[in-house]
Amino acid sequence: MSLQIDTLAYTNRLRWLAPEQKLLFAIALLIITAFAHPPVQLLIAFWMSIWTVIYAKIPLKIYLKLVYIATLFWLTSLPALVINGIQINSVNLIQEDAIIGFNLGDYYLYISNYGIEQGWTILTRAIASLSCLYFLMLTIPFTELLQTLRRCGFPVLLTDILLLMYRFIFLLLNTASQLWISQQSRGGYNSFKISIKSLSLLIGQLLRRTLENYRQVSLSLASRGFNGEFKVWHSQRYHLSPRYAIESMIGCVILMGLSWI
């Protein structure tokens, strides 16, 4: 997935557009998302999807897969928001909030109407925010995004840490995938007992290989005279688009007006 994301970031139709313009646009929509109502947040998500899928020509299947992964995390937190419990002698306090429930010992478990509203608000805000982040991730190569942040005054130390984290996260996932496939091909997950043993071996090997990769990176940087700052070269030339700038400003003004209403 990481190679696919990097490939799309380098080959999308908005590659020529200045990273500063795309970054400013996404940040503006993120700020609007933080204060907007759920219907406006859904409009933001839909609008950013148009920019990502239609303007940047990112395959719809990949984009929906990324949204699906984020939705799964929301689903895992939904029961904690929707299902509440209270002592039986205090049931009269939640008559308006409870949709349906049942007794469990000395407690009354029920589905909360307020919890459903809260879960829906979290979903719309998360989808809108993620659509902005996916737009940046799929249209701007990560190294160039860090260079843009540096030009905007972002501390060099933090950009270097982000670069290393970005590299090691996907390296860790790739190593874990290779180990899991190797164990699965040898019947390492045929039973629960064997699965637990295989999982412990996978975690141990993953830690060892991660430390080994870190040592190799450290030696590689030292041999190349690393002076505490990563230098990334790119020859891509960008230019600003008045048409996209006008469209984005008009859209942001309309969204702010809808949020105010």
Q: How confident is the model at residue 106, as a pLDDT?
A: 75
Say how many Å lie between the first and final Cα of the chain, rounded.
Answer: 41
- pTM for the model stands at 0.77
What percent of the chain lies above the pLDDT cut of 70? 95
Least confident of 111-115, 129-133, 230-234: 230-234
Higher pLDDT, 44 or 232: 44
The domains of the chain are located at 1-79+117-141+239-261, 142-233
